């Protein structure tokens, strides 16, 4: 290389978009499939993913509240605490929307079972 030196330039990560990897997409898809089968742990895991913006999904507190609500309604104690935590960061309208979506999910779940 001789006398040449490489200059490292800083990278602005402030505007970086979350990278959705195949593995993360697969994990979310598996959780959604398990949730469709009624697995309570999948409800909770989806709540965690959406509340933290992990596994390739964007942070969405309405979606997270919906999944925590579903898990809590099936007896998952930690989900009830997580739902309460994120509720502090949500408006009444957002909470109402999350509850509406959870009710809709339960109605569809009952229809499939019948």
Question: Could you list the mean pLDDT of each consecutive 10-residue stretch along the chain, which spans 114 residues?
Answer: 43 47 86 93 96 92 98 96 97 98 93 83
The pLDDT of residue 20 is 52
Identify the pLDDT of residue 16: 46
Counting Cβ atoms within 10 Å, is residue 66 exposed (0-12), middle (13-18) or buried (19+)?
buried
**Rounded distance between C-alpha atoms, residue 4 and residue 104, angstroms:** 64
């Amino acid at each position: 290389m001789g006398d040449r030196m490489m200059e490292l330039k800083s990278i602005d990560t402030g505007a970086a978009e979350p990278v959705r990897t195949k593995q993360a997409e697969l994990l979310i898809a598996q959780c959604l499939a398990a949730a469709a089968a009624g697995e309570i742990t999948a409800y909770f895991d989806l709540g965690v993913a959406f509340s933290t913006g992990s596994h390739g999904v964007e942070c969405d507190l309405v979606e997270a509240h919906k999944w925590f609500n579903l898990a809590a309604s099936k007896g998952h104690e930690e989900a009830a605490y997580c739902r309460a935590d994120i509720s502090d960061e949500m408006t009444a309208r957002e909470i109402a929307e999350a509850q509406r979506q959870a009710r809709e999910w339960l109605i569809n779940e009952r229809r499939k079972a019948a």
